A and B are shown apart, each in its own frame.
Chain A
Amino acid sequence: MSGTTITCRKLGFLYDGEEQPVIQDINLEIARNQRVAIIGASGSGKSTLCQLLCGLLPRSGGGTREGEVLLDGTDPAAAPIASIAEAVGVLFQDPDAQLVQGIVEDEAAFGPENMRVSPAEIEERVAQSLAAVRLLDRRLDPVRRLSGGQRQRTAIAAVLALRPRLYVFDDACASLDAAAQANFLQLCFTLQAEGRTLITASGRFDDAARAAQRVIVLDGGTVVLDGPPEELLRCCGEQLAQLGLLPRPAGEAAGTAAGDKPVPAATPPHSAERHAGKPIAAGSVPAAVPHAEGARESAASPLLEVDSLTFAYPGGREALHGIHAKIYPGDWVLLTGENGSGKTTLSRLIMGLLPAPAGSIRWQGEDIKGMAVYRRAEQIGYVFQQPEYMFTAPNVWEELIYSLHGGVPVKKRRELSAAEQERAGFLLEKAGLTDRLHMSPYLLSQGEKRLLSVISQLMLPRALYILDEPTSGMDYAAIDRVIGLCQHMLEEGSAILMITHDPELIKEHATSFIHL
């Protein structure tokens, strides 16, 4: 197997309806069999570059390309589909949009079937690619029964089964747990050893970038740094941190980034007192592991108690077994665990989006079974793993203030109070979305979408916020914004339950962990 040579000359790209090019004047030569990491903050043009490399832009996605892209001398936007599919396999950012067959093993077989591979070889490729992402035991499962990380692994397997000369993985590790990320890194080495060219794209100087032979840094649609990772880390650490691609030194990050001004409350804050120290729940089976610093004395009653919670989906698959947890006002609890361990299931049970057994979840001491979701939503803010599910308004501003009016037409709405205006402005500023007010939420970058979904829940003060992987795929600067926002919510007396695969980035702020 020989890899693919990539040439970009004066490459630029402008999306239809946009005024500013998202990519401009990119010149690159990537040699055969190289392992390259493209990194850049949210909105820097990584995903656009990935889609230009496989020809999807401008062929299917529209827009205007300038300059040249050549894969082994062939323009991917003009070449026949068959030769492109043989040359390059791409993992796009959203795994759900790539899964078209419904069953795990069929997803892996889809590409080879299209490429007229013999049934015996398809079978071999399916088994091998699913084994590579450790999903062989789930091969007959419907995709919709998988967790977000497992769907991501399925999408990776579907690309692997194509066996092209060049792999482009756009944010492949975004929803993966630590073990799956390590496995993915190993996979990259294996693919390169087979002679293939490899490109990974991400919003951080992550392990894939550190292990690459070459790192290309994008900012504002252009290449700002290009070189071996160790060299970039040695000479450009400060610049990389400023771009949000490396964590900022302690003391400069999160807390200070969020500013010192108190957040104005949209409505009078709830009565939950700010608590300096409370013990966090322990003893779930699998254990809810108390953070060392989280074991504090408390005189307050818990906001939320989960007691011997067991849950199985229809069909018998047990997702949770004997979970115990307590969350107090002012707590910041990290909910961690492998892909498919039941983190999202637990959060949905708390929110009432799945039916919990009677007596297993108590809110301020009372069983909440039977409490409607909209009633829970008065006390609990919930941010979905997929921000797009939450969008109901045509632009960022309307999306942000939606919870204040519940979708009432502009003419029938009351004026926003000064406090509401101030809070909205504050949240927009902290999320870095002030200049995006009139944009459609769907046109934001993935990181910006996540930030918008978070602040639109923060518009109304609540006792508890549940955030499902809010930092997934984000650059460090955006993560700092999320941390800063969370810290302000804690100062208002709220508690936070955050599902995350980035505990190492947030643990210093958290009061405790629940590990499933």
Chain B
Amino acid sequence: MLIQYEKGSSLLHRYDPLSKLVILFCTAVIAMLLDQAWQQAVFLLLCIGQARYAGHMSGRQLLGGIRLIAIVAVPYFILTSLTVQGETVWLQWGSVSVTIEALNAAGAMTLRMFTLFLTSMAYIITTDPRELVAELTRRLRVPYRFAFGISAALTFIPLLEEEGNHILAAQQVRGHRPPKGLGSRISYGLKFVSAVLLNALRRVQQTAGAMESKGFGAYPDRTYRTEVNIPSWAAVSAVIYVLATVWLWWIV
């Protein structure tokens, strides 16, 4: 599944990267503050609604994201439900008991994972990495080599995924059948991962040389072809969101 910036004109796309980053950060803080499963559920629904309608993310994209984080979140939910102690038993099966308190804690933590992942995903999909780097270096004075690392990660992931797809295709062309059974899957996966890593290493070495030959790191700062404007409404809404977060922190 490809998580990368997609051009668009949605409300989230029109936000500048820094105001949106502040809002993303506050969202993470709020998610950490809420400790009831129902609160997390309501908050998650709000975030999904925001991604869907303010970020124009498709239902398919959102479902893809949910499926991806579910790989980690569902086992985590089960494990937490079985291990957290509580008083109100909801289900008893032999020596195994599940309490309401455990379900609430597991639900809250699992839903928090979904919220953090989906909001980060919405940020990546609606934020141009070039603008993010420019803003980090120009307004926050982050060294551009460091900021470029973030951008490179965002632009490199789809490139690596593309390369992974090529390698997968090449392996199929060489007659690899889809693996059956755990051992075969692990062996196939290892071969695939090592081929991708080898190519990635080769790519990183060559790319570093090519970047250097184009003057990357020659000066402590650099210029940017495009100027990012921070809309006043975006800055104001970010400030309001920060205040709301502080208020919530106060009352919770």
Cα A372 to Cα B173 with chains together (Å): 10
Q: Which of B198-224 contact A (CB under 8 A)?
A: 198-199, 202-203, 205-219, 221-224
- Cβ of A184 < 8 Å from any Cβ of B? no
Q: Number of B residues contacting the other chain (C-beta, 8 Å)?
A: 49
- Cβ of A130 < 8 Å from any Cβ of B? no
- Cβ of A386 < 8 Å from any Cβ of B? yes
Would A384 and B175 be within 8 Å (CB), given that A116-B221, A392-B191 are in contact?
no
Cα A102 to Cα B159 with chains together (Å): 8
Contact of B170 with A378 in the complex, beta carbons under 8 Å: no
- Cβ of A61 < 8 Å from any Cβ of B? yes
Would A392 and B195 be within 8 Å (CB), given that A119-B224, A119-B227 are in contact?
yes
Q: Which of B18-75 contact A (CB under 8 A)?
A: none
Shortest Cβ distance from residue B138 to the other chain A in the assembled complex, whole angstroms: 12
Q: Which of A90, A123, A144, A374 contacts B159 (CB 8 A)?
A: A144
Shortest Cβ distance from residue A88 to the other chain B in the assembled complex, whole angstroms: 8
Interface SS of chain A: helix
B191 — which chain A residues lie within 8 A by C-beta?
392, 407
Bits for A381-396, please: 1 = Cβ < 8 Å to B, else 0.
0101010111110000
Contact of A56 with B215 in the complex, beta carbons under 8 Å: no
Shortest Cβ distance from residue B76 to the other chain A in the assembled complex, whole angstroms: 33
Contact of B223 with A442 in the complex, beta carbons under 8 Å: no
B177 — which chain A residues lie within 8 A by C-beta?
372, 374
- Cβ of B141 < 8 Å from any Cβ of A? no
Q: Which of A5-58 contact B (CB under 8 A)?
A: 51, 54, 56
Cα A113 to Cα B215 with chains together (Å): 9
- Cβ of B174 < 8 Å from any Cβ of A? yes
Q: Which of A85, A90, A109 contacts B218 (CB 8 A)?
A: A85
Q: Which of A97, A162, A386, A442 contacts B166 (CB 8 A)?
A: A386
Q: Which of A88, A89, A374 contacts B175 (CB 8 A)?
A: A374
Shortest Cβ distance from residue A47 to the other chain B in the assembled complex, whole angstroms: 11
Closest A residue to B202 by CB, please name it: A442
Give chain A's interface residue range (CB within 8 Å of chain B).
35 or more
Would A116 and B213 be within 8 Å (CB), given that A373-B172, A392-B171 are in contact?
no
B227 — which chain A residues lie within 8 A by C-beta?
119
Closest B residue to A161 by CB, please name it: B214
Contact of B166 with A100 in the complex, beta carbons under 8 Å: no
Bits for B156-187, please: 1 = Cβ < 8 Å to A, else 0.
00110011001101111111111000000001
B219 — which chain A residues lie within 8 A by C-beta?
82, 114-116
B203 — which chain A residues lie within 8 A by C-beta?
96-97
Closest A residue to B166 by CB, please name it: A389
Q: List 9 A-B contacts (CB under 8 A).
A: A51-B209, A92-B210, A94-B206, A97-B210, A112-B223, A119-B226, A144-B159, A353-B172, A389-B199
Chain B interface (Cβ within 8 Å of chain A)?
129-130, 152, 155, 158-159, 162-163, 166-167, 169-178, 187, 191, 195, 198-199, 202-203, 205-219, 221-227
